[in-house]
């Protein structure tokens, strides 16, 4: 019997962190997936590189070791590079390697027996080997059955739905009617998908002609690249990267991603590319584009998706295709950064600034940062793209002579327009209250991007929500048959209900937050814990009948606009159609797509929504975008708030005038009480570099990232005192660390404070910021400090502590 080290899904701080030793009849190479007994359960594990024997620890007593239950030898082992990525991620984000490794595998893999796996892999089921048979050279033979250990009962009983009997070929030949008869839903009808069937994907695969004949996408292959695109691609090929593609919205970044992918895939028949996008909502769009382009070359099966909106069988299928090298392109959200791709040659991170690349549970990894690391490990090129890069990436892409490590590729102009100020702007009447457009926009971006108008709310009627000039501008759009988009980053009708007579407010009994008034179903809903009640008829405290909404969310904005625009008529004489898109209107699967389709078809005149509508979607007919109330982010305690606001407004502005024939008229309106704020000045000029520069200067002076490195320790407890006591005790105890004298001079430990929302669902939350000018010092401190945190929890003051976690490079502070 051979001892093998096996990683299991164990928390960072259990006695079992690190690999456990099991016995196997045959030696198993690291990376092999195995099933092993743990207590009375049987778990999926990964054979790990065994640590060098430590003379200090007594030798393991083989008699006490348990044998593995099965080895999934039908699967090639996970590569050395994949394991190195896991090891790095675990140590950098202060979690156990087992947790990170197992979380990175598709959940359904846990339940699969080797027999089922073999079936899944379209291979004959391996013949059992009898114990004592020499280890087979070929990985197609499973020892699982041979080892006749406890059989995995659960997996045997539950044959994953949809794994068998869904050969794509038979579907492919069927028409839509046939598909529906077979239980496949028609597009957009996600609700009716049979569990476990990859309805959407199969349907997409089933209609290759429709996908490809879409024309536009195929045609683009033949479309000449813009000079900027051609230059970016040439630079990509002649340099090693990592690259930051800094391209205006509509500059054709996706086309660059696709060409770079195409070139690398064509150069090597095995090579694979990973393309990441921030949101699940954006994957179908991208998948369609990539399938249209690459399906024709490599077959539709060569492009797979990976995101949390997929069913377990879908995820397993994609994962296997990537792991076996059958998938040439993996499109996915942040989780895809861990996809096993043995021939990875390119990682694209679209909208690299997007906060959703950072995980906020388990290992709080940044998929963007791991992409950079992984690229180096794998020898794969890394291409980050954004119109408003994160300040970290922007800083890294400063000139190499100044220490920059990324190569910046600039694409300042929009596709299909010329970099001149459209004549129409000169004659545009300036509406009262809006600041005149000043000259001096950087010439390379002028003209093709929308005109930014700031409305000084200090000079508007008191309490108005939509200023008269903005209303007028929207009215003009409606009359011309153009669309407007108005966004407000708060859903619901009003953020709080309040009683005039006493001090009652619609606080959530379980959270330190107000419950939001949703008029549509007359509920008060807590957006943090979900606690929902009917709106009381009268004030619960004093009985006053007059309880009133305070403030405004998208629901109320929609209602308000409907009143203001009641008399407006579309060119066809019909009344205005106002639609709203936010988390409330898109709760059901498919509803977002449906609503977006309405916007695209031109049915909608005014679209109201949260930031959800500001991102990514390509609205061609929108010629006016308005941010109604963006000011709060200017004065937030979170030092990243201005960065997020700027990026959001730039993204939103980028929605306007995507159709070249409309660009001359398109406008971005910002209602603000601080019209001369530098952020809006830079926005007006579409000048991200200037904004970034001013932010970086501020951050350098304040010693903030990227000029320092941070980690947050968050603690949750029954009482705020316990949460804070735990953090403060651990902080004090760090003085007792063995390496304290070396490390502590480089580390600042701030006092524990309640989190912004101190209580959610009756749990009190506190946090402590740890900062260092040196990433290495911070890393070394955190690894040493983990043990201290762990032991602090047993102090009497910490009674009631529920959990704690370290967040390295936190985004929200």
Q: Indicate the SS3 state at residue 747.
A: coil
| 226 lies in the binding site for ligand ADP (CB under 6 A) | yes
Q: Binding Zn ion by CB under 5 A: which of 49, 279, 410, 541?
A: 541
255 forms part of the interface with ligand ADP (CB under 6 A):
yes
From CA 331, how far away is CA 283, in angstroms rounded? 7
We find the least distance from the C-beta atom of residue 214 to ligand ADP, in angstroms, to be 11
Smallest distance, ligand ADP to C-beta of residue 285, A: 9
| SS3 (DSSP) at 248 | coil
Binding mask 660-689 for ligand ADP (x = CB under 6 A): ------------------------------
Distance in angstroms (rounded) separating the CA atoms of residues 149 and 167: 33
> Cα separation of 351 and 337, whole Å?
15
Select from 254, 390, 460, 724 the one that contacts ligand ADP (CB under 6 A). 254
Distance CA 44, CA 572 (A): 63
Token readout for 706 is 């990227």
Structure tokens at 82: 């994949």
The encoded tokens of residue 106 equal: 């598709």
**Residue 88 in the binding site for Zn ion (CB under 5 A):** no
Based on the shown chain and the rule CB under 6 A, indicate whether residue 227 belongs to the binding site for ligand ADP.
Answer: no
DSSP single-letter state for residue 405: -
In the chain, what's the furthest Cα-to-Cα distance? 89
The least distance separating ligand ADP from the CB of residue 286, rounded to whole angstroms, comes to: 10
Which residue in this structure is represented by tokens 């024309």?
A: 215
Binding partner of 499, given ligand ADP, Zn ion, none, CB within 5-8 angstroms per partner class: Zn ion
Residue 247: half-sphere exposure toward Cβ, Cα within 13 Å: 30
Q: Which stretch binds ligand ADP (CB under 6 A): 243-251, 374-382, 517-525, 589-597?
A: 243-251
Q: Which of 17, 539, 670, 712 binds Zn ion (CB under 5 A)?
A: 539
Partner that binds at residue 271, options ligand ADP, Zn ion, none, CB closer than 5 to 8 Å by kind: none
Does 582 participate in binding ligand ADP (rule CB under 6 A)? no
Residue 252 binds to ligand ADP (criterion: CB under 6 A): yes
236 close to 409: Cβ distance less than 8 angstroms: yes
DSSP class of 223: S
**691, 653 contact by CB (below 8 A):** no
Q: How far is the CB of 248 from ligand ADP (least distance, A)?
A: 7
Q: Is 504 in the site for Zn ion (CB under 5 A)?
A: yes
Among residues 735, 733, 770, the alpha carbon closest in space to that of 750 is found at 770
The answer to whether 225 contacts ligand ADP (rule: CB under 6 A) is: yes
Q: Which of 292, 280, 295 is nearest to 255 (CA)?
A: 292
User: How many residues lie near Zn ion (CB under 5 A)?
Assistant: 15
Report, in Å, the least distance between residue 591 CB and Zn ion: 25
Q: What is the closest distance, in whole angstroms, from the C-beta atom of residue 555 to Zn ion in the complex?
A: 19
Could you tell me the smallest distance in angstroms from the CB atom of residue 266 to ligand ADP? 19
The one among 38, 419, 502, 763 contacting Zn ion by CB under 5 A:
502
Binding-site partner at residue 254 among Zn ion, ligand ADP, none, CB < 5 to 8 Å by type:
ligand ADP
Is-contact 126 142, C-beta < 8 A? yes
Residue among 501, 634, 641, 769 that touches Zn ion (CB under 5 A): 501
Contact between 223 and ligand ADP (CB under 6 A)?
yes
Q: Which is nearer to ligand ADP, 339 or 415 (CB)?
A: 415
Measured between alpha carbons, how far is 509 from 506 in angstroms, rounded to an integer?
9
Measure Cα distances from 365 to 89, 100, 293, 332, 420 in Å: 7, 10, 31, 16, 43
Sign of CA dihedral 308, 309, 313, 316: negative
- Least separation in angstroms between residue 510's CB and Zn ion is 4
The footprint of Zn ion on residues 506-535 (CB under 5 A) is 508, 510-511, 526, 528-529, 531
For ligand ADP, the closer of residues 141 and 415 by Cβ is: 415
Q: Show the binding pattern over residues 142-181: x = contacts ligand ADP (CB under 6 A), - = does not.
A: ----------------------------------------
Using CB under 6 A, pick the residue from 166, 229, 413, 484 that binds ligand ADP: 229
Smallest separation, CB 638 to Zn ion (Å): 21
Contact pattern for ligand ADP over residues 398 through 417, marking x by CB under 6 A: -----------------xx-
CA-CA distance, 83 to 428, in Å (whole number)? 60
Query: Does the N-terminal peptide bond of residue 242 adopt cis geometry, omega within 30 degrees of 0?
Result: yes
Q: Which does 629 bind (CB under 5 to 8 A by kind): Zn ion, ligand ADP, none?
A: none
Residue 289 C-beta: closest distance to ligand ADP, Å: 8
Of 231 and 746, nearer to ligand ADP (C-beta) is 231
Selection from Zn ion, ligand ADP, none that 204 binds (CB < 5 to 8 A by kind) is none
| Phi-psi label, residue 590: left if phi above 0, alpha if psi -120 to 50, beta otherwise | left
Q: Please, what is the minimum distance in Å from the beta carbon of residue 515 to Zn ion?
A: 7
**366 secondary structure, DSSP code:** B
Q: Which stretch binds ligand ADP (CB under 6 A): 50-58, 79-87, 250-258, 464-472?
A: 250-258
Per CB under 5 A, 544 contacts Zn ion: yes
Scan residues 602-641 and list those touching Zn ion (CB under 5 A): none
Which single residue is written with the structure tokens 């077979």?
A: 182
* N-terminal to C-terminal alpha carbon distance within the chain: 51
Distance CA 594, CA 188 (A): 7
Under the binding rule (CB under 6 A), the answer on residue 378 touching ligand ADP is no
- Residues 748 and 377: their CA atoms lie apart, in Å, by 32
CA angle 682, 686, 688 (to 5 degrees): 70
Assigned token pair, 161 = 């739905």
| 251 binds ligand ADP, rule: CB under 6 A | yes
Question: For ligand ADP, which is the closer residue by CB, 251 or 623?
Answer: 251
- Label the pairing between strands 344-350 and 381-386: parallel
Rounded-to-integer distance, Cα 139 and Cα 134, Å: 13
Could you tell me the two tokens for 807?
Answer: 């967040």
Q: Considering the complex, what minimum distance in angstroms separates the CB of residue 525 from Zn ion?
A: 9
Q: Are 725 and 798 within 8 A, CB to CB?
A: yes
Regarding 113 and contact with ligand ADP (CB under 6 A), the answer is: no
Supply 572's token pair: 């066809």
- Rule CB under 5 A: which residues touch Zn ion? 499, 501-502, 504, 508, 510-511, 526, 528-529, 531, 539, 541-542, 544
- Rule CB under 6 A: which residues touch ligand ADP? 220, 223, 225-226, 229, 247, 249-255, 415-416
């Amino acid at each position: 019997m051979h001892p093998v080290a096996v990683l299991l899904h164990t928390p960072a701080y259990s006695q079992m962190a690190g690999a456990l030793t099991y016995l196997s009849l045959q030696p198993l190479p690291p990376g092999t997936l195995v099933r092993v007994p743990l207590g009375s359960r049987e778990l999926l594990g990964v054979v790990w590189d065994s640590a060098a024997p430590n003379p200090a620890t007594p030798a393991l007593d083989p008699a006490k070791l348990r044998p593995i239950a099965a080895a999934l030898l039908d699967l090639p082992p996970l590569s050395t590079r994949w394991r190195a990525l896991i090891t790095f991620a675990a140590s950098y984000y202060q979690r156990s390697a087992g947790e990170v490794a197992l979380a990175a595998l598709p959940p359904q893999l846990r339940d699969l027996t080797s027999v089922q796996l073999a079936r899944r892999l379209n291979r004959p089921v391996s013949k059992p080997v009898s114990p004592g048979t020499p280890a087979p050279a070929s990985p197609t033979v499973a020892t699982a059955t041979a080892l006749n250990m406890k059989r995995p009962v659960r997996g045997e009983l539950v044959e994953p739905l949809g794994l068998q009997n869904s050969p794509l070929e038979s579907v492919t030949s069927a028409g839509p009617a046939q598909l529906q008869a077979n239980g496949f839903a028609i597009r957009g009808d996600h609700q009716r998908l049979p569990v476990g069937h990859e309805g959407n994907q199969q349907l997409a695969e089933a209609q290759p002609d429709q996908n490809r004949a879409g024309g536009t996408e195929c045609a683009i292959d033949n479309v000449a690249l813009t000079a900027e695109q051609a230059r970016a691609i040439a630079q990509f090929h002649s340099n090693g990267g990592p690259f930051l593609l800094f391209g205006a919205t509509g500059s054709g970044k996706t086309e660059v991603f696709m060409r770079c992918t195409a070139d690398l895939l064509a150069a090597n028949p095995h090579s694979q590319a990973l393309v990441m996008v921030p949101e699940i909502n954006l994957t179908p769009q991208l998948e369609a584009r990539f399938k249209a382009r690459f399906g024709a070359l490599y077959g539709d099966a060569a492009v797979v998706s990976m995101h949390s909106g997929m069913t377990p069988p879908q995820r397993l299928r994609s994962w296997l295709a990537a792991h076996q090298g059958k998938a040439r392109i993996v499109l996915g959200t942040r989780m895809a950064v861990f996809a096993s791709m043995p021939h990875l040659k390119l990682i694209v991170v679209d909208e690299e600034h997007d906060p959703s690349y950072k995980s906020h549970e388990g290992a709080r990894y940044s998929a963007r940062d791991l992409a950079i690391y992984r690229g180096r490990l794998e020898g794969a090129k890394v291409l980050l793209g954004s119109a408003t890069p994160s300040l970290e990436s922007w800083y890294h892409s400063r000139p190499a002579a100044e220490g920059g490590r990324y190569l910046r590729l600039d694409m300042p102009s929009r596709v299909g327009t010329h970099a001149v100020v459209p004549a129409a702007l000169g004659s545009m009447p300036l509406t009262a209250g809006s600041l005149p457009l000043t000259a001096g926009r950087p010439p390379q971006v002028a003209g093709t991007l929308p005109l930014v108008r700031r409305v000084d709310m200090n000079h508007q009627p008191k309490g108005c929500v939509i200023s008269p000039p903005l209303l007028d501008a929207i009215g003009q759009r409606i009359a011309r048959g153009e669309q407007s988009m108005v966004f407000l980053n708060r859903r619901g009708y009003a953020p709080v209900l309040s009683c005039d007579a006493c001090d009652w407010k619609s606080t959530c009994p379980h959270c330190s937050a107000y419950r939001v008034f949703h008029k549509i179903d007359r509920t008060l809903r807590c957006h943090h814990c979900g606690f929902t009640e009917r709106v009381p008829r009268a004030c619960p405290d004093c009985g006053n009948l007059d309880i009133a909404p305070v403030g405004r969310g998208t629901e109320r904005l929609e209602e308000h606009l409907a009143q203001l625009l009641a008399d407006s008529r579309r060119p066809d004489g019909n009344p205005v159609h106002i639609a709203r898109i936010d988390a409330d209107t898109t709760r059901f699967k498919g509803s977002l797509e449906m609503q977006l389709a309405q916007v695209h078809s031109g049915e909608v005149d005014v679209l109201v929504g949260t930031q959800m509508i500001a991102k990514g979607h390509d609205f061609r007919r929108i010629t006016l975008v308005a941010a109604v109330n963006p000011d709060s982010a200017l004065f937030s305690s979170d030092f990243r708030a201005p960065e997020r606001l700027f990026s959001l407004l730039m993204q939103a502005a980028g929605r306007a005038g995507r159709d070249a024939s409309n660009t001359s008229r398109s406008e971005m309106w910002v209602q603000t009480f601080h019209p001369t704020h530098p952020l809006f000045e830079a926005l007006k000029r579409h000048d991200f570099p200037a904004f970034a520069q001013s932010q970086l200067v501020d951050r350098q002076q304040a010693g903030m990232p990227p000029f320092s490195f941070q980690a947050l320790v968050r603690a949750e407890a029954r009482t705020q005192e316990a949460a804070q006591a735990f953090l403060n005790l651990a902080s004090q105890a760090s003085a007792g660390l063995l390496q304290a004298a070396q490390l502590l001079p480089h580390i600042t430990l701030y006092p524990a404070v309640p989190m912004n929302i101190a209580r959610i669902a009756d749990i009190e939350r506190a946090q402590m910021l740890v900062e260092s000018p040196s990433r290495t010092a911070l890393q070394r401190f955190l690894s040493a400090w983990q043990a201290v945190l762990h032991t602090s929890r047993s102090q009497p003051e910490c009674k009631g502590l529920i959990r704690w976690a370290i967040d390295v490079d936190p985004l929200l502070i």
